Amino acid sequence: MDPSESAGERLQKVLAQAGHGSRREIERWISEGRISVNGQPASLGLRVSSKDKISVDGKIIRLFEKTARTQVIALNKPEGVICTANDPQGRPTAESLLPNKDGVRWIGIGRLDINTSGLLLFTNNGDLAHQLMHPSFQIDREYAVRIFGDVNAEILARLRSGVEVDGESYAFEDVVRGNGRGANRWYYCVVRQGRNREIRKVWESQGLQVSRLIRSRFANVMLPRDLKPGRHFEVKGVMLDDLYRLVNFQGRRSQ
């Protein structure tokens, strides 16, 4: 929606559509008192129009006259790269590997930890990011995992039915054997929540060691075998349309 025509829209929705963050992020900023409208602290549920003056951390936000074309970027994140915007230790960030033009603010769709490589999606549309991360849509996340140790049929059955780790229940939607011989072998497993270190915790609960972890798919977007670490591509056409359908997103299709 054109923010200039969004009279009566909720503040977090207007800012998310303009690419200033996901709705969840913006709701947190409102609760922390970082956003003001017409000089007054904003509240959750506040509705605004293009006539209102919106500030974040004291800086006025200028909403675009026209909504930018929704874009989705797929990055092959290397190991050793972190998913936070800034790092006090000076480690490389995923955001630094993305195209930087026309003032686009990329919003990460989930995260990968520093020792996990593979597919990581970004978008300039906060609403789309919010929907793809929302647990109600049950979006598949597939990982290729190299396991050191003996994996038998009983273990695979437990991984599918569920295990308990630190008082929480975890289960793979699916897990199948891949390539490899002996003590090192690849497996492909699917989860739908993307909880912190979930894959590693599940395998390690069985006395096994994860020696490598790569996200190979998010929703319908696959990690191309020829996409080198640190490189990216834009999700377009039918692939983008199918991604929209998974979360009932009404967006402007890439050209």
Residues marked active site are found at 113
Give the angle subtended at the CA of 145 by the CAs of 139 and 146, to the nearest 5°.
Answer: 175
Straight-line distance from the first to the last Cα atom of the chain, in angstroms, rounded to the nearest whole number: 18
- In sequence order, what are the beta bridge partners of 141? 191, 218
Residue 153's Cβ-side half-sphere holds a number of Cα atoms within 13 Å equal to 0
Listed in order, strand segments (DSSP E) in the chain are 9-10, 35-37, 40-41, 47-48, 54-56, 59-60, 72-77, 107-109, 117-123, 141-148, 163-165, 168-170, 174-181, 184-191, 209-218, 221-222, 232-234
Residue type, 68: A
